[in-house]
């Protein structure tokens, strides 16, 4: 014999009920079929009670909706000749229910007993419908054989009586029978319930009493998943679980199975299979006493409880005092407070435990009463209550055999900026539980899921600001490389945010790269930078990377907060790395502390590997003694382009149009751009210098830079003639202009130099950059890096 339980969604619609019929008809053994109320009906019944209790007539509408829901299903699937009979039965039940509600409404009083009776109607009605759909098969009233006693504020199943009654009742039937889940009765014959989700329990109780071959729980997901599929999209069904693992997971909020369900069948070693009614062919999850194999993953699943309140009782007077914890937990039990996590440091000066938020008040009172004397004496000096928290548990029998799980877990949390407030691991090593801020649950679940289940692929969530020349090209590159990176580097990069100077867009599910311009154009989010930053931090995604492709001071000013929130920063924008040394060092320090990256390789020499090379030399013990470089692609291009036909002003315009220059070419022409680069290289070489320390000989008169950009273009044209004259002289001497930045023994300078033929800089073409590094190791012949140094 088998017991099959179908949940609310499985019997929620006419179509699904027909699917149930198909599944039941394909069975070869006798079946006890346990049904829940039609999906959502228990909630509706409870809500209607509340409305009636509040004296709100709106309850009638709700009640009507409940009736309609059932009658509609009947209309759709019950054969004509049976419709009247069944409709009559349901109408009679609805009528009784309506009278009960009317009583509640008039008296404005709702006892536990009445609540139970009301809640029972969901399963009573659904079981009549399902029994009829299956061909008018026998329907048993669970209240006749599932018996409860009231103990510690709860209905507890009286197994001795119940088991006997089940066996007796079922002995009188054969073939298929339908039983309403969730409902029971007490010794006085009053209707009781087994708690929300309790139909699973009904099924388990029957399966155990009858020594069924299997208990099948049919629901709306493909089995017990690695995590709650509503939070973790990449969660997948777990093929096998031990009873202990399933128990831990369900107790910790994985809703797929009602926690008490496992116990009765575990004792009889009856396997549980979780299956999807809407996808009956998928194998589902098998929960059994089968030994967990050594090959299984150390962690089977993750679950979480959002409703967490942490209470800490602290006091020097607690140290070494025997019986404190006994009294504490006794007091909590007397106050009916259930504790689901306990943590006590070995110093014994504080005990922390987690309870539901709604129990906070009772817990506080109970402790203060129990320890009134100790509090008055100052032995206990602090009782703190923290809300807005969540508890996460990772579960797996193989954790016992695998060292390093806790290390990996907490390391992953730390790297993503999730602070662990309390934690507990039982000596059974089956479960590690820890408490974090409620706002971080989604992120924590995601990173844990990624690092323990999907280690195949590393996920990066990318935010881009600036979609001009560099930003757009970056997006193109990203679009082109995404699949390559996934296949060969197991790296999945998802663009989750983008901004231009006016607007921003965000989507945690990923933004289609080709849609970025259109989405930005249509976005309603104005970008004040500050709000974009806040929105990114609020999204609280794991492995977040912020990419700056602007040249903006405002964007550079966001880095510190981003890094502080464990968001990596990768920037083409030189402003931050060349700002005050104090700011530069602070950013590096914050990044180091938070374990995230602050990278700015493209600040100097565009795509040339200059900064990373210097970093590697220094890390391996070399010392940069001298550095000489042509670092402005724009200036090199301009001086290479000057000719009889192309005057200075025209060459500048060409550099701008080619995308080499900064958006404002004055930054290049004034030498500021090169100063910034020299500063960055000097700092990376180990010197703490400021921009003002760089000695600079201007080659364009300061007057040119005084006015607006328009003024600049006019002013600079007046220099054309003089530059052409000088150029001719230079040409006749066989020399060329190169704008050179130097760092020599910690002293930095930039100047327009006239270099002779034969000098390594002389032949530097177009917008190329060149850098000569003289180090302790590359001494006689400096290291040379040369190539395109500007543009996207
Ligand atoms: P039923 O109405 O069939 O009893 P429930 O709503 O009680 O179904 O349980 C199934 C739901 O549990 C799924 O739809 C899913 O959203 C949720 N759930 C939470 N955690 C998990 C998990 N780890 N695996 C599967 N489902 C889960
Ligand atoms: N109908 C009840 C509830 O919604 C029992 C169940 O579905 O398991 O809680
Ligand atoms: Mg359920």
3-state secondary structure of 461: strand
Query: Which numbered atom of ligand 1 lies nearest the CA of 254?
Result: 20
The CB of 127 under 6 Å from ligand 2? The reply is no
Taking every pair of Cα atoms in the chain, the longest distance, rounded to a whole number of angstroms, is 117
For residue 6, which ligand has an atom nearest its CA? Answer: 1
The CB of 181 under 6 Å from ligand 2? The reply is yes
| Eight-state DSSP code of residue 122 | H
Marked catalytic residue, from 574, 677, 697, 747: 677
Contact yes or no for 785/604 (Cβ under 8 A): no
3-state secondary structure of 125: helix
CA distance 538 to 722: 56
The CB of 260 under 6 Å from ligand 2? The reply is no
First to last CA, the chain: 71
- Give the Å distance between the CA of 197 and the centre of ligand 3: 4
Helical (H) or strand (E) element with 495? strand 491-499
pLDDT for the residue numbered 784: 96
- Give the Å distance between the CA of 36 and the centre of ligand 3: 8
* Helix ranges (DSSP H) in 136-229: 159-171, 199-209
pLDDT for the residue numbered 692: 97
For residues 20-40, average pLDDT: 96
pLDDT for the residue numbered 280: 95
3-state secondary structure of 476: helix
Q: Work out the angle at residue 512's Cα, subtended by the Cα atoms of residues 508 and 517, and round it to the nearest 5 degrees.
A: 110
- Kind of pairing between the strands at 458-465 and 544-548: parallel
For residues 556-573, average pLDDT: 97
For residues 363-391, average pLDDT: 94
Percent above pLDDT 90 for the chain: 82
Assess whether pLDDT exceeds 90 at residue 542: no
pLDDT in tens, 250-274: 988 778 999 899 999 999 999 999 9
The CB of 39 under 6 Å from ligand 2? The reply is no
- Give the Å distance between the CA of 255 and the centre of ligand 3: 7
CA distance 543 to 262: 37
Helical (H) or strand (E) element with 641? helix 633-641
Q: Of 252, 253, 255, 155, whose CA–CA distance to 205 is shortest?
A: 155
- Give the Å distance between the CA of 43 and the centre of ligand 3: 13
- Give the Å distance between the CA of 38 and the centre of ligand 3: 12
Question: Which residues, 6+ apart, have CB-to-CB distance to 641 below 8 Å?
Answer: 651, 654, 655
Q: Phi and psi (nearest 5°) for 303?
A: -145, 170
For residue 220, which ligand has an atom nearest its CA? Answer: 1
Assess whether pLDDT exceeds 80 at residue 294: no
Give 288's strand partners. Answer: 242
Assess whether pLDDT exceeds 80 at residue 347: no
Q: How far is CA 31 from CA 122, 268, 402, in A?
A: 22, 18, 41
3-state secondary structure of 503: strand
pLDDT in tens, 83-110: 999 999 999 999 999 999 999 999 999 9
CA distance 709 to 702: 14
pLDDT-derived band of residue 455, with 50, 70 and 90 as boundaries?
Answer: low
pLDDT for the residue numbered 293: 73
Give 755's strand partners. Answer: 736
- Kind of pairing between the strands at 458-465 and 491-499: parallel
Radius of gyration of the chain (CA): 36
**Which one is predicted more confidently, 749 or 426?**
749
Contact yes or no for 405/298 (Cβ under 8 A): yes
Helical (H) or strand (E) element with 31? strand 31-35
pLDDT for the residue numbered 456: 66
Question: Which residues, 6+ apart, have CB-to-CB distance to 108 below 8 Å?
Answer: 53, 54, 55
* 458 counts as catalytic: no
pLDDT for the residue numbered 167: 97
The CB of 8 under 6 Å from ligand 1? The reply is yes
Query: Which numbered atom of ligand 2 lies nearest the CA of 37?
Result: 1
pLDDT-derived band of residue 470, with 50, 70 and 90 as boundaries?
Answer: very high
Query: Which numbered atom of ligand 2 lies nearest the CA of 122?
Result: 1
Contact yes or no for 275/284 (Cβ under 8 A): yes
């Amino acid at each position: 014999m088998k017991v099959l339980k179908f949940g609310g969604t499985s019997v929620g619609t006419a179509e699904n009920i027909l699917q149930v019929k198909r599944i039941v008809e394909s069975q070869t053994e006798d079946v006890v079929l346990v049904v829940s109320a039609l999906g959502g009906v228990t909630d509706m019944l409870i809500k209607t009670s509340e409305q009636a209790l509040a004296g709100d007539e709106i309850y009638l509408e709700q009640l009507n909706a409940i009736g309609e829901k059932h009658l509609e299903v009947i209309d759709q699937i019950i054969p004509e000749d049976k419709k009247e009979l069944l409709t009559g039965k349901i109408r009679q039940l609805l009528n009784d229910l309506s009278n009960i509600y009317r009583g509640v409404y008039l008296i404005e009083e709702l006892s536990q007993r009445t609540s139970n009776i009301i809640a029972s109607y969901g399963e009573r009605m659904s079981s009549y419908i399902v029994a009829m759909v299956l061909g008018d098969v026998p329907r048993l009233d669970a209240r006749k054989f599932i018996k409860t006693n009231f103990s510690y504020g709860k209905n507890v199943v009286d197994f001795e009586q119940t088991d006997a009654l089940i066996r007796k009742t079922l002995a009188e039937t054969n073939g298929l029978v339908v039983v309403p889940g969730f409902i029971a009765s007490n010794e006085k014959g009053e209707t009781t319930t087994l708690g929300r989700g309790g139909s699973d329990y009904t099924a388990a109780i029957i399966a155990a009493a009858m020594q069924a071959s299997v208990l099948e729980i049919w629901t709306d997901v493909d089995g017990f998943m690695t995590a709650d599929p509503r939070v973790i999209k990449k969660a997948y069904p777990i093929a096998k679980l031990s009873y202990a693992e399933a128990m831990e997971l369900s107790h910790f909020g994985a809703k797929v199975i009602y926690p008490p369900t496992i116990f009765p069948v575990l004792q009889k070693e009856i396997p549980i299979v979780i299956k999807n009614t809407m996808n009956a062919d998928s194998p589902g999850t098998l929960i059994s006493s089968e030994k967990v194999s050594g090959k299984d993953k150390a962690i089977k699943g993750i679950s979480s409880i959002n409703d967490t309140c942490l209470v800490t009782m602290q006091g020097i007077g607690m140290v070494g005092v025997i019986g404190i914890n006994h009294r504490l937990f006794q007091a909590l039990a007397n106050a009916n407070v259930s504790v689901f996590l306990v943590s006590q440091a070995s110093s014994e000066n504080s005990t922390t435990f987690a309870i539901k938020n709604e129990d906070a008040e009772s817990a506080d009172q109970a402790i203060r009463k129990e320890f009134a004397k100790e509090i008055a004496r100052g032995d206990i000096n602090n009782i703190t209550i923290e809300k807005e928290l969540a508890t996460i548990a990772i579960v797996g029998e193989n954790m016992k055999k695998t060292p390093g799980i806790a290390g990996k877990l907490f390391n992953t949390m730390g790297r993503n900026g999730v602070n662990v407030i309390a934690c507990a691991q039982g000596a059974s090593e089956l479960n590690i539980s820890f408490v974090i801020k409620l706002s971080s649950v989604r992120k924590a679940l995601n990173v844990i899921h990624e690092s323990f289940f999907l280690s195949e692929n590393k996920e990066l969530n990318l935010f881009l600001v600036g979609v001009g020349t560099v930003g757009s090209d970056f997006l193109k590159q990203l679009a082109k490389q995404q699949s390559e990176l996934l296949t060969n580097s197991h790296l999945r990069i998802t663009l989750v945010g983008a901004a231009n100077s006016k607007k921003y867009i965000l989507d945690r599910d990923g933004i289609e790269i080709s849609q970025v311009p259109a989405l930005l154009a249509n976005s309603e989010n104005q970008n004040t930078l500050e709000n974009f930053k806040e929105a990114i931090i609020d999204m609280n995604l794991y492995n977040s990377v912020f990419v700056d492709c602007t040249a903006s001071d405002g964007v550079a000013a966001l880095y510190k907060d981003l890094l502080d929130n464990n968001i990596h920063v990768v920037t083409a924008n030189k402003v931050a790395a060349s700002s005050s040394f104090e700011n530069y060092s602070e950013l590096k320090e914050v990044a180091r502390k938070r374990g995230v990256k602050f990278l700015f390789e493209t600040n100097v020499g565009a795509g040339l590997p200059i900064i990373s090379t210097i970093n590697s030399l220094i890390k391996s013990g070399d010392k940069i003694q001298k550095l000489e470089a042509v670092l402005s692609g724009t200036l090199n291009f301009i001086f290479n382009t000057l000719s009889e036909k192309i005057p200075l002003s025209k060459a500048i315009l060409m550099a701008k149009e080619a995308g080499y220059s900064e958006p404002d070419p004055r930054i290049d022409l004034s030498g500021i751009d090169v100063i910034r680069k020299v500063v960055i290289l000097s700092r990376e070489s180990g010197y703490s210098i400021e921009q003002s320390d760089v000695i600079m000989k201007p080659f364009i008169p300061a007057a040119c830079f005084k006015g607006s950009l328009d003024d600049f273009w006019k002013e600079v044209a007046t220099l054309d003639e003089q530059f052409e004259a000088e150029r001719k002289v230079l040409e006749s001497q066989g020399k060329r202009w190169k704008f050179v930045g130097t760092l020599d023994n910690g002293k930095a300078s930039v100047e327009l130099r006239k270099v002779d033929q034969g000098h390594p800089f002389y032949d530097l073409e177009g917008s190329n950059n060149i850098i000569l590094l003289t180090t302790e190791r590359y001494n006689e012949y400096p290291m040379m890096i040369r190539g395109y140094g500007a543009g996207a």
